[in-house]
């Protein structure tokens, strides 16, 4: 058994970002500054969008995107129940109501058929999540949005590298929101980005993210002399720091190298787990790129002597960190108590919630680490 604990989602941090963070500390300019601007430009170019606004999280990007598209109290936004809380909470913080839709059992992505069923006269937007790095069916979602005059904000927290039919994900909707949280495909510690081709949304998000102060307020203490600002909204404190961007500007150029390593691990897992009483991830769709963010196994609990939670404990005992992505939102008390959801409402998401577990998938994993993960899974279930 391995001696040290293999932390789930531990990022690969290399020397150039360590040096860059130290340089920022020594320069004294820790907050939003030239490194944030550089990271935004790099990301904008990577995605081919007109605008990119760096924020302190994807949660902040989702929240401000909801505000930018004009979500008001009582407006409904269709959200998958199979997602992280931040997706739905962003709608709530903007004053809207998250209306859950079920997912597809194989892709785990939001079901376009269920989106169509959930549309009412109050629906204003769809918030698809590209689950685990696999693109949603954007042709179907864009068609529904056009037909019903709805906005689309894409939750791309898992999906930095994802492409759908040759196009980069995050560029199908009105806005795309990305995460650089420690477990994500590239990291800044905490951090997020909103991308859009709409200048009005971009300006609004930039201003709302820094107290509602007018454009370029972050420059007010620069060597160009003190600049007055005007407060034009009751904004938020969601700006990214140079300390964070210092990491991102070195991680982004390595994105394909890290992706290739995760793809290698993904293929090794597929091969190693194919004959076990578990379901491995659905094959990658043709003409699309999976970001390989999460490797989720579904335990065949009907044909297994062990429950999913016992499986998680057994992995931990073997010093392998694991995750659960996710217990569907409608099974959590807050959403049940506030919006009257109950078990039984979304059968596919429940089926996944009861069986899913994620094993480590990080470019930091050595071949030896991967071997340990495979051995542990086989030992427990084999
Ligand atoms: C699907 C999804 N959306 C949004 C977020 C929020 O990202 P952040 O932690 O950058 O706020 C996460 C974070 O894990 C996520 O998994």
Q: Using a 6 Å cutoff on CB, does residue 84 contact ligand 1?
A: yes
Residue 246: both structure tokens together: 């210092």
Residue 192 near ligand 1, beta carbon < 6 Å: yes
Whole-number Å distance, alpha carbon 302 to ligand 1 midpoint, is: 31
Pair of tokens at residue 181: 């949280």
Q: Whose CA is nearest to atom 7 of ligand 1?
A: 58
Own/partner contacts of 310-318, CB < 8 Å, gap of 24 or more, are: 311/357, 311/380, 311/381, 312/357, 314/376, 314/380, 315/357, 315/359, 315/376, 315/377, 315/380, 318/1, 318/2, 318/372, 318/376, 318/379, 318/380
* 133 in Cβ contact with 290 (< 8 Å): yes
First to last CA, the chain: 16
**Backbone phi and psi for residue 151, each to the nearest 5 degrees, phi listed first:** -85, 160
Q: What is the pLDDT along the chain (382 residues), one digit of tens a residue?
A: 789 999 999 999 999 999 999 999 999 999 999 999 999 999 999 999 999 999 999 999 999 999 999 999 999 999 999 999 999 999 999 999 999 999 999 999 999 999 999 999 999 999 999 999 999 999 999 999 999 999 999 999 999 999 999 999 999 999 999 999 999 999 999 999 999 999 999 999 999 999 999 877 777 777 778 888 999 999 999 999 999 999 999 999 999 999 999 999 999 999 999 989 999 999 999 899 999 999 999 999 998 889 999 999 999 999 999 999 999 999 999 999 999 999 999 999 999 999 999 999 999 999 999 999 999 999 999 7
- Determine the Cα–Cα distance for residues 328 and 102; give it in Å rounded to an integer: 9
Burial (Cβ within 10 Å: 0-12, 13-18, ≥19) of residue 319: middle
- Return the ligand 1 atom nearest residue 325 CA: 16
155 lines ligand 1 (CB under 6 A): yes
86 alpha carbon – ligand 1 mean position (Å): 6
- The residue to mutate among 8, 59, 81, 183, having the most atoms of ligand 1 within 8 angstroms of its beta carbon, is 59
Using a 6 Å cutoff on CB, does residue 353 contact ligand 1?
A: no
pLDDT at 280: 97
Report angle CA 273, 274, 280 to the nearest 5 degrees. 80
DSSP state of 259: H
Compute the distance between CA of residue 180 and CA of residue 175 in angstroms, rounded to an integer: 17
Known catalytic residue: 184? yes
Nearest CA among 242, 112, 110 for reference residue 188: 242
> Long-range CB contacts (< 8 A, 24+ apart) of 343-346?
345/81, 345/100, 346/81, 346/82, 346/100, 346/101, 346/102, 346/103
The closest-lying atom of ligand 1 relative to the alpha carbon of residue 129 is 1
How many whole angstroms from 125 Cα to the centroid of ligand 1? 19
Any residues with CB less than 8 A from the CB of 333 and at least 6 apart, and which? none
Residue 157 in contact with ligand 1 by CB distance below 6 A: yes
> Of 50, 122, 184, 364, which one is the catalytic site residue?
184
Whether residue 185 has its Cβ less than 6 Å from ligand 1: no
Burial class (CB in 10 A: 0-12, 13-18, 19+), 182: middle
Alpha-carbon distance of 58 to 226, in angstroms, equals 31
Cβ–ligand 1 distance for 296 under 6 Å, the answer no
C-alpha to C-alpha distance for 29 and 6, rounded to whole angstroms: 35
How many angstroms separate the alpha carbon of residue 87 from the centre of ligand 1? 7
56 lines ligand 1 (CB under 6 A): no
What is the C-alpha separation between 259 and 237, in angstroms, rounded?
Answer: 32
Q: Which atom of ligand 1 is nearest to the CA of 192?
A: 10
Task: Please report the pLDDT score of residue 223 as a whole number.
Answer: 77
């Amino acid at each position: 058994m391995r001696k040290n604990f293999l932390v789930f989602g531990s990022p690969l941090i290399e020397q150039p970002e360590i040096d860059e963070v130290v340089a920022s500390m020594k320069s004294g300019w820790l907050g939003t500054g030239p490194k944030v601007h550089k990271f935004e430009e790099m990301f904008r170019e990577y995605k081919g969008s007109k605008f990119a606004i760096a924020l302190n999280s994807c949660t902040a990007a989702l929240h401000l995107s909801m505000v930018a598209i004009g979500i008001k109290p009582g407006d409904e936004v269709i959200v998958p129940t199979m997602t992280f809380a931040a997706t739905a909470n962003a709608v709530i913080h903007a004053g809207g109501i998250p209306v859950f839709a079920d997912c597809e059992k194989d892709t785990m992505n939001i079901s376009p058929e269920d989106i169509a069923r959930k549309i009412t006269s109050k629906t204003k937007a769809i918030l698809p999540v590209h689950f685990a790095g696999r693109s949603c069916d954007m042709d179907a979602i864009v068609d529904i949005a056009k037909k019903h005059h709805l906005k689309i904000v894409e939750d791309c927290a898992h999906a930095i590298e994802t492409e759908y039919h040759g196009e980069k994900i995050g560029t199908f909707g009105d806005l795309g929101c990305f995460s650089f949280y420690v477990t994500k495909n590239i990291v800044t510690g905490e951090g997020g980005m909103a991308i859009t081709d709409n200048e009005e949304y971009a300006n609004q998000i930039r201003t709302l993210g820094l107290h509602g102060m007018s454009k370029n307020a972050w420059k007010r203490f620069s060597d160009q002399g003190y600049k007055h600002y005007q407060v034009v909204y009751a904004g938020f404190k969601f700006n990214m720091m140079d300390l964070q961007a210092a990491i991102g500007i070195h991680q982004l150029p390595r994105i394909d190298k890290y992706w290739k390593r995760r793809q290698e691990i993904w293929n090794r897992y597929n091969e190693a787990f194919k004959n076990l009483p578990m379901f491995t991830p659905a094959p990658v769709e043709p003409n699309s790129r999976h970001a390989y963010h999460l490797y989720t196994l579904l335990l065949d609990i009907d044909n297994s002597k062990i429950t999913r939670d016992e499986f998680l404990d057994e992995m931990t005992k073997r010093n392998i960190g694991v995750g659960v992505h996710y217990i569907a939102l409608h099974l959590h008390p807050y959403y049940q108590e506030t919006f009257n959801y109950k078990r039984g409402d979304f059968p596919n998401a429940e089926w996944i919630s009861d069986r899913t577990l994620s094993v480590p998938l990080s470019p930091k994993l050595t071949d030896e680490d991967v071997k340990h993960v495979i051995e542990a899974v086989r030992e427990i279930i084999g």
